[in-house]
Amino acid sequence: MTTTTAPTRNRNPRNGRGLPLIIYACSIAIFFVAWYAISARFAMPILFPGPGRTFAALVQLVEDGSLAEDIAASLARILAGFALGSILGLILGLLMGASRLIRFAVDPYVNFLRFISGIAWIPLATMWLGLGESSKIAVVAYVTVFAVAINTLAGYGAIPLARIRAARALGAGRRQLFFMVELPSCIHFALQGMRLAMAGAFLTVVAAEMIAATSGLGFLISSSRQFMATDTMFVGILTLGALGFAVDKAFLLVSWLTLGKYRLAR
Amino acid sequence: MPVDGTNAAAARAPRPRASGRRHPDEARRAARSLAPTIWSGSIVVFLLVWQFASRFYPPALLPSPLRTFHTLIESIDSGLLLDHAQATLGRVVAGFLLGAAVGVSLGLLAGSVRLARLALDPYVNFFRFVPAIALLTPFVVWFGIGELPKVLLIAFATLFITILNTIAGVDDVPRNRLRAARMLGATPSQIFALVVVPSTIPYILTGMRIAMGVSFASIVVAEMTSADRGLGYLLGYAQVISATDLQFVAIVCLGAMGWAVDKTFQLLARLAFRQFP
């Protein structure tokens, strides 16, 4: 990251060493000061709680265990739906890549449904599958399937023709070609798709919990509206950000530890 | 693999080799001519299965395709669908343009000025993990249930994706292009306006395209929970009165709008890529 491309950027490499940390710290400090200053201007702290009140709400929610419960509920829904959707998406993407018949048969649905967000299905999923966990898991899986399938298919399209020809020239059969050339070439793309899908899964689960649930971070945020507990909302929002960050990094770490040369960069 | 003999493209293709396996390009061409047949066959089968399955369920649970189509025509005729679609599109476009304008400006600034980049970095990296919908509740508390909170929600959803992509675009400007401009005597402001911004446009459009998808997802929840117009409202309303056919219509309309906007962006991006390869 030492090479800079933008023309107006500082071109002296020595300036870049200790500076980032200081600017980071300053930038975060300014944020908290501004937050405090804005909240102090509100006559009713309930409308815009400052950092102090928010932190107090956080401590309270951590102590009575309700934050941990809501995190666990949201995370369980996300992971279950994400795992189900990833497996189905990978299978669908591979089938679409390996067989033209399946690709053309499935193509209209994939291309139509991927523009319909999982959120739009929440009322129908609730009606068909009930208010319980299965409707949320189904909607999260729905969101994941398309991101993973489309990316896996893109991976199929990106396999260099020379690689397939080389394998064929060396006498690989259809099955060997699939397991030793096509599948490994798609893994990286499938992982990218899963990483993208994770953001969609968070978005969808929060929406589902806002519309039809009695637990989870989305419910925590929407239910605090009835009590005007804005500080609890802030805690929920900040927790979601931290959770998304942690899950993204955990996903990278797992791919790094288990997938060897197929892992994702950074 | 049967080849349609009447198809001109297939007829022009070279004859299959003696080995039995055809040249990949040739196979691809043959397959392309088959695609429309399989597509339409697949859709017909789906509609038949749907029609058949709907006989076993009450229409409130699974309306038949004919009934859904009838409702679609009816809601177009009465102007209901157009009215709600207009409300949704207005909110999405307003919020999207606001978010994209701020996002592109901040992205260009952060891409070009190191200080701005470092100062923005912690926020961009934190808030891009916050689902926009989570902000719906505080926005409603602060700004009421009118248009403003929805527009701001969409702007928020658009903002961070656009910033991230714009910064990536500024980073990826080919160095030789910058060097060439500098060598030909361009001033920093000229380089910015004539080299950096045009080279970044494809990235910006990609970011906006992703953001548009998130915007359409976010607006549905906002309208479901706090609005009296819009497709999300229609969806929630249809659920309350158990009009599942109307729910299907709203869902399909949302999908069609998302599709149309996405295709527009793809077209724009292709034009931009053609000019700046």
Distance CA(B133)–CA(B157), nearest Å, equals: 8
Chain A residues in contact with B184 (beta carbon < 8 A):
none
Give pTM, 2 decimals: 0.82
The alpha carbon dihedral of A183, A189, A195, A200 has a sign of negative
- The rounded mean pLDDT for chain B is 84
Could you tell me the pLDDT band of residue B97, with boundaries at 50, 70 and 90?
very high
- Identify whether the C-beta of residue B211 lies closer than 8 Å to the C-beta of residue B99: yes
For A35-93, what is each residue's pLDDT tens digit? 888 888 877 777 788 888 889 889 988 999 889 999 999 999 999 999 999 999 999 99
* Chain A with chain B: Cβ pairs closer than 8 A: 197
Residue A163 has pLDDT above 50, yes or no: yes
| DSSP secondary structure string for all residues of A135-177 | HHHHHHHHHHHHHHHHHHHHHHHTS-HHHHHHHHHTT--HHHH
Q: What percentage of chain B exceeds 90 in pLDDT?
A: 32
Chain B residues in contact with A203 (beta carbon < 8 A):
131-133, 214, 217-218
User: By CA distance, what is A228's nearest residue in B?
Assistant: B141
Q: Residue A205: its pLDDT value, please?
A: 93
Give the ipTM. Answer: 0.79
Question: Distance from B14 to chain A by nearest Cα, in Å?
Answer: 19
Asked if the Cβ–Cβ distance from A203 to B220 is below 8 Å, we say: no
**Average pLDDT score over residue span B140-158:** 90
Residue A9 parent element (H or E): none
Could you tell me the pLDDT band of residue B118, with boundaries at 50, 70 and 90?
confident
User: By CA distance, what is A241's nearest residue in B?
Assistant: B130
Using N-to-C axis directions, what is the helix angle for B197-225 and A183-211, rounded to 10°? Answer: 40
Residue B169 has pLDDT above 50, yes or no: yes
Question: Distance from A31 to chain B by nearest Cα, in Å?
Answer: 9
For B22-37, what is each residue's pLDDT tens digit? 555 666 666 667 778 8
- The answer to whether A220 contacts chain B (CB < 8 Å) is no
Asked if the Cβ–Cβ distance from A237 to B138 is below 8 Å, we say: yes
Asked if the Cβ–Cβ distance from B239 to A123 is below 8 Å, we say: yes
- Identify whether the C-beta of residue A244 lies closer than 8 Å to the C-beta of residue B131: yes
Residue A170 has pLDDT above 80, yes or no: yes
Asked if the Cβ–Cβ distance from B221 to A230 is below 8 Å, we say: no
Query: For testing the chain B interface, which of A116, A219, A240 should be mutated: the one with the most B CBs within 10 Å?
Result: A116
Residue A11 has pLDDT above 60, yes or no: no
Alpha carbon dihedral B31, B32, B36, B42, in 10-degree steps, equals: 40
Asked if the Cβ–Cβ distance from A5 to B140 is below 8 Å, we say: no
Distance CA(A100)–CA(A117), nearest Å, equals: 27
Asked if the Cβ–Cβ distance from B129 to A244 is below 8 Å, we say: yes
Tell me phi and psi for residue A232, to 5 degrees. -65, -40
Chain A residues in contact with B140 (beta carbon < 8 A):
225
Among B27, B33, B46, which Cα is nearest to B6's?
B33
Query: For testing the chain B interface, which of A100, A135, A139, A226 should be mutated: the one with the most B CBs within 10 Å?
Result: A100
Q: Residue B122: its pLDDT value, please?
A: 84
- Identify whether the C-beta of residue A121 lies closer than 8 Å to the C-beta of residue A181: no
